[in-house]
Amino acid sequence: MERTTLFVDVLLPLPVPGVFTYRVPRDMNQNVSIGKRVVVQFGRSKIYTALIHKIHQTPPQEHIPKYILSVLDNYPVVNAKQFDFWKWISEYYMSTLGEVMNVALPSALKLASESKIVIHPEFDGDLTSLNEKEYLIAEALEMQSSLSLSEVSDIVDQKKIIPLIKNLIEKRVILTHEEIQHRYKPKSETYIYLSDEYKDEAKLKAVFDDLEKRAFKQLELLLSFIHITKFPSEAEKKISRPELLSKANASAGQLNALVKKGVFFTSLEQKSRLPEVDAEKKATDINLSEDQNNALTQIREGFNNKDVALLHGVTSSGKTEIYIKLIDEVISSGKQVLYLLPEIALTTQIISRLRKYFGDRIGIYHSKYSNNERFEVWDNVLNNIKQKDGGSANYQVILGPRSALFLPYKDLGLIIIDEEHDASYKQYDPAPRYNARDSAIYLARLHNAKTLLGSATPSLESYYNTQINKYSLVELFTRYGDISLPEVLVVDIKEESRKRKMKSYFSEILLDTIEQVLNDDEQIIIFQNRRGFSPRLECESCNWTPECKNCDVTLVYHKHFNNLRCHYCGYSTRVPEKCPVCSDTKILMRGFGTEKIEDELSVFFPDAKIVRMDLDTTRSKNSYQRIITDFEDRKINILVGTQMVTKGLDFDNVSIVGVLNADNMINFPDFRSFERSFQILAQVSGRAGRKKKGKVIIQTYKPQHMVIENVITNNYSGMYLSQLKERQTFKYPPFHRLIQLKLKHKDPKVLNQGASELAKQLRDKFGKRVLGPEYPLVSRIKNLYLKNILIKIEKGISVSKEKEIISKEIEEFRKHSDCKQVRVQVDVDPV
């Protein structure tokens, strides 16, 4: 009987277009399935993990396909809906499928470029069938547990080693020992069980009597086990080895002695790294206010007609309780819920609230988790395999930032996008440069699910979609418990400085209010949108300022590390003792960041506990959790932070929020700066007075600015209407789509030539809709010079056709001999 010859089209996690066809060895025909990972040779010597995208019997015409080397999975790790979702992201955001795959898959499922081989566990040691070089490899593996391909190349003294590796795999002498297979290592724990023999009461009493005479400490350990496991009981009782030794205050030797006597036996078992939490409450326990109930009813009614609803609720209006009610309804019907948040800091706080109602049915997925933890969440969502108390449970709710979009959902019923306006939903680097909010709406469509957007300060685009009847709109303008919105006071820094009332960076009223609040045992949040100690150092004599050697930016002084750092590339250097230009030793600090504010506040309030929350203090895995928990437990009096403190955090005891310099945001040269400034100021103001009326003090040089006035009156609609008019006049979203091309090269002359040529090509197709090329604010990053080209596309025009034209022009540009080294990055819908 003739056997079928199969071919597979695979995706590689590389920025290369299209799929690649490989032949399947006939003995692997039964093992291949769409969505499984396979090991393939790519190029001359590289081995990668690829995903099977299609299985067929059509050989490629242009070349002889290579064989796949092995199949890694027993079941597919990616499902059909994920492939559809990846394809949409690839097409919409003008990236390759390989780039999407690279971002979507957790690291534990990807293969690093340096592959390794190991001895096959079934190899019997017979080397007679091997040639000389194969023998050398097998012999080396007897002395070393694994070899990298470069080490194999050195051993056999030849570059082309893939045929050798392939022969050894076919002879079942070796296996590819991919990092991928061993990146995920299940966590194991030793558990202690009581032996069946001693479950008989008579025998147990006999061992009690014997131990009482000969080994009283062992008797105490046995009694502790019985007390902890509540023996006798019908269920098989066990306890982990460390827990038993700790609770019994016993030594390992005493435990080993009881194991040796046969009283206990041990079992090494896999254990989840993810914490187990029981639900304390039910969603039915939540009593919604009349306004919340009305909002919930309107959301349900909106979902009858439209797939997307926008919940526009002021800060502290109780949006989370409405989310909990909706989540409970969806998971009760057997479907999954995805709850997206812009920041890990928010994930940390909200997870504790949701777990009270959903316990182990809710899982977290974000970058602070280790590779192994992220793999466990992925595997749980894929297979519903999490075991607890002998039963099967699975994550019905996933909570996380934008990376949580890519988990292998099977049946989503609802996606909640909280703080939907936030720019953190946009992926900047690497490609694909997707917006998680917009991508989530498409993902929901794939699953026939509903999408709920929530924000106190919606993005103009989302609010506009409600006005043109694309989304349904639900508004909630009363705070929970009828608490008033905080009083907003604006301080004119220029006037305060003229009257000499400014002390350091703080106005007199801000310092007096902080002191009063501390006396009342309440808490304060101080917002400053710059981290570090001082944004720049400056020579008093010649105005020299230290700059990054790789980027066109000034270095920021960090007091804690006592060095100067670049916030773009990470370059750092020591603080100079004197000016390298004029040798003057008077080097002054200009401006202030969160680190300096923390330092200055400790001088004014030496008895207060002051903590900073910014990128520098939240790098470790549990840093968010520690800071937020301490603040919730009132172990911290004053929390100083960047935008992290503005986004949806809920603290009952905060009665004052201080904004030290609102002008940095308002004066930023971007068409979204007014919208962003309003959102940030309104959001940070909303952290005050969650349980009783609070106060917000905004320090600014422009107290009459329209944005400040809109924040004072909480006038979202005023900001929306004024900005919408400007956007329409100057052809910006939501009336036009934007596609930005960012060109990079180490030589500014080559960059300028290439940017001009590409812009000319595009103008031939798009005319005046092409702006640039122009240097961005920071024109050099990591030794690469930058230039931007912006293309505006009117609503109503086929965006897909326009993207095809842009892609063809970029392809033609890359073929040009003088400019092909210029890198072109495409950013669709830049924020």
Q: What is the arithmetic mean of pLDDT over 589-614?
A: 91
What digits encode the pLDDT tens for the residues 412-456? 999 999 999 999 999 988 899 999 999 999 999 999 999 999 999
What burial class does residue 418 get, using C-beta atoms within 10 Å of its C-beta: 0-12 exposed, 13-18 middle, 19+ buried? buried
CB contact at 8 A, 695 and 489: yes
Closest to 658 measured CA to CA, from 684, 636, 631 = 684
Q: How far is CA 211 from CA 21, 195, 205, 441, 507, in A?
A: 69, 16, 10, 66, 74
Phi, psi values for residue 64, rounded to 5°: -90, 120
Tell me what percent of the residues of the chain surpass a pLDDT of 70. Answer: 93
Structure tokens at 669: 């040269």
Pairing outcome for strands 695-700 and 654-659? parallel
What burial class does residue 193 get, using C-beta atoms within 10 Å of its C-beta: 0-12 exposed, 13-18 middle, 19+ buried? middle
Q: Residue 486, SS3?
A: coil
Please give the pLDDT value at position 502: 92
Q: Which of the pair, 48 or 470, is modelled with greater confidence? A: 470
Q: How confident is the model at residue 150 (pLDDT cuts 50, 70, 90)?
A: confident
The answer, yes or no, to whether residue 392 has pLDDT greater than 50, is: no
Whether pTM exceeds 0.85: no
Distance CA 432, CA 94 (A): 8
What digits encode the pLDDT tens for the residues 260-314? 888 898 887 766 555 566 677 888 888 999 999 999 999 999 999 999 999 999 8
Closest to 400 measured CA to CA, from 415, 421, 386 = 415
Please give the pLDDT value at position 389: 38
Please give the pLDDT value at position 268: 77
Please give the pLDDT value at position 111: 59
CB contact at 8 A, 274 and 250: no
Amino acid code (one letter) for 110: K
Amino acid code (one letter) for 577: E
Q: What is the arithmetic mean of pLDDT over 100-128?
A: 77
Q: What is the arithmetic mean of pLDDT over 804-824?
A: 88
Chain Cα centroid distance, residue 501: 43
The answer, yes or no, to whether residue 560 has pLDDT greater than 90, is: no
Compute the chain's Rg from CA coordinates.
Answer: 31
Q: Which of the pair, 464 or 194, is modelled with greater confidence? A: 464
CATH number of the 736-828 domain: 3.30.70.600
CB contact at 8 A, 134 and 174: no
What digits encode the pLDDT tens for the residues 496-521? 999 999 999 999 999 999 999 999 99
Distance CA 338, CA 359 (A): 15
Average of per-residue pLDDT values in the chain: 87
Distance CA 83, CA 53 (A): 8
Contacts of 94 (CB under 8 A, 6+ apart): 739, 803, 806, 807, 826, 828
Distance CA 283, CA 271 (A): 29
Q: Which of the pair, 569 or 581, is modelled with greater confidence? A: 581
Please give the pLDDT value at position 270: 64
User: Which of 376-390, 593-607, 766-780 has the lowest average pLDDT?
Assistant: 376-390
Please give the pLDDT value at position 130: 86
CB contact at 8 A, 168 and 138: yes
Tell which CATH architecture fits domain 283-482: 3-Layer(aba) Sandwich (3.40)
Distance CA 211, CA 196 (A): 18
Distance CA 709, CA 698 (A): 11
What digits encode the pLDDT tens for the residues 678-714? 999 998 888 887 777 889 999 999 999 999 999 999 9
Say whether 736-828 and 487-531+592-725 share the same fold: no
The answer, yes or no, to whether residue 818 has pLDDT greater than 90, is: no
CB contact at 8 A, 351 and 275: no
Domain locations in the chain as residue ranges: 6-109, 116-177, 187-271, 283-482, 487-531+592-725, 534-591, 736-828
The answer, yes or no, to whether residue 96 has pLDDT greater than 70, is: yes
Beta bridge partners of 641: 527, 613
Distance CA 318, CA 481 (A): 9
CATH superfamily placement of domain 6-109: PriA, 3(prime) DNA-binding domain (3.40.1440.60)
3-state helix/strand/coil string of 19-87: CEEEEECHHHCCCCCCCCEEEEEECCCEEEEEEEEEEECCCCCCCCCCECCEECCCCCCCCHHHHHHHH
Distance CA 640, CA 625 (A): 16
Pairing outcome for strands 695-700 and 487-492? parallel
- What CATH fold (topology level) applies to the domain 487-531+592-725? Rossmann fold (3.40.50)
Please give the pLDDT value at position 621: 66
CB contact at 8 A, 149 and 161: yes
Distance CA 185, CA 227 (A): 33
Please give the pLDDT value at position 482: 75
